[in-house]
Structure 1
């Protein structure tokens, strides 16, 4: 719980809800499967060789998805005034996309990071940006 609570956008409530709901991270093969289970990936409609990506699939636990997205929104709001690696990535993303898409993208990234920390039993290290 403390391990994933260090991720920006994930507080104690989100961390405990994730651990209680997910259980073992090894139930998922990779972080994308966890993100898909939470409904944080694009819904796909393909026919005749054409792929159409729509909004998020909204499958899985609504409460967890909401917690992750709200935490991501808080990070995006504070990213405007920071210069760390996550904030610079978020600012570049917000320059290209609207805030809702950016918050879902960060929530997706956080879900994948949670899987990596739980599955590999590692501590969170904030990414370093070169000046």
Structure 2
């Protein structure tokens, strides 16, 4: 992505990266398949790896991780990783547009000393 203003809504970036389910419809048939894999494959791989590490390796519980684990409990871990990577792309684009930082906890650090401790 070269320009964050390309997307009027941040949630459109997931479809642009190919993180949406592929659909095949014909008459009465409606099959929802795997992701479409459109867009840049390297960005999709990096988002997938980041989402997998958020759900598996990161010990700090964040609202994003809790949301992904609820999806994993309901369906499977791979679908949850794709969902978290799509949401992560949305969050990253919104952060880029607004110029803010993401904090796993609700309260950002007040000082540099608190930042080093986090």
TM-score normalised by the chain length of structure 1: 0.68
The one of 80, 90, 94 equivalent to 1:112 is 90
Q: Which structure is higher in RCO with an 8 Å CA cutoff and minimum separation 6? A: 1
- What RMSD in Å do the two structures reach over aligned CA positions? 2.2
Aligned positions of 1:18-37 closer than 5 A: 22-37=1-16
**The structure with more radius of gyration:** 2
In the TM superposition, residue 78 of structure 1 has moved relative to its aligned partner by 2.8
Give the direction of change, closer, same or farther, for the CA distance of 1:117–1:83 in structure 2 (3 Å limit): closer
Q: Which runs of 5+ in 2 are unaligned?
A: 107-118
Q: Which runs of 5+ in 1 are unaligned?
A: 1-21
SS of aligned partner of 1:55: strand
SS of aligned partner of 2:71: helix
Aligned residues: 106
Whether contact under 8 Å (1:86, 1:127) holds in the other structure is no
TM-score normalised by the chain length of structure 2: 0.75
